[in-house]
């Protein structure tokens, strides 16, 4: 898994990719669905959902929800390169694996196996 929950990622395709001048949209990964290979990213793919009044939401009205996007459409951001980067995997001496920026080698945290 190149991406983990809580990662700051860059969106590489779709209408969110060109959100602000010259910069790709960024957001934090809220959740990952390993089965469908989709991620939900804060502020990305946002849609309005109309809801009926309920006890939880007595006013009803519109809710913002984030629609999951394809995992392959996001890239983790390397803090050193300050951009979305390709991720490599480095095996540590104790057998654990780290994700590293393929450009500069900076560690991007532990590599996570997909839970299927
Ligand atoms: Zn880097």
Please tell me the distance from the alpha carbon of residue 86 to that of residue 112, in angstroms, as a whole number: 16
Q: Residue 1 domain-assigned?
A: no
Q: How far is the CA of 91 from the centre of ligand 1 (A)?
A: 18
Q: Residue 51 belongs to a domain with what CATH number? A: 2.30.30.30
Instruction: Let me know if residue 59 belongs to a domain.
Output: yes
Residue 21 lies in a domain: yes
116 belongs to a structural domain: no
Looking at the structure of the chain, the number of domains it has is: 1
Range of the domain at 80: 8-110
pTM of the model: 0.78
Residue 51 domain flag: yes
Is 3 among the domain residues?
no
CA of 42 to the centre of ligand 1 (A): 22
Distance of CA 34 to the CA centre of its chain: 13
Instruction: Tell me the pLDDT of the chain (116 aa) as tens digits.
Output: 789 999 999 998 766 666 555 667 899 999 999 899 999 999 888 888 888 888 887 888 888 888 899 999 999 999 999 999 999 999 999 999 999 999 999 999 988 776 65
Expressed in angstroms and rounded, the spacing between residue 75 Cα and the centre of ligand 1 is 12
- 2 domain residue, yes or no: no
Burial of 27 (0-12, 13-18, 19+ CB in 10 A): buried
């Amino acid at each position: 898994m190149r991406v983990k929950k809580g990662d700051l990622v860059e969106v590489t395709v779709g209408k969110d990719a060109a959100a602000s001048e010259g910069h790709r949209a960024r957001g934090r990964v809220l959740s990952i669905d390993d089965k469908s290979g989709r991620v939900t990213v804060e502020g990305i793919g946002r849609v309005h959902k109309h809801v009926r009044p309920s006890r939880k939401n007595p006013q009803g009205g519109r809710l913002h929800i984030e629609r999951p996007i394809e995992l392959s459409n996001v890239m983790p951001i390397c803090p050193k390169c300050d951009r979305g980067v390709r991720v490599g995997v480095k095996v540590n001496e104790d057998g654990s694996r780290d994700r590293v920026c393929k450009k500069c080698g900076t560690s991007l945290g532990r590599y996570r196996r997909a839970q299927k």
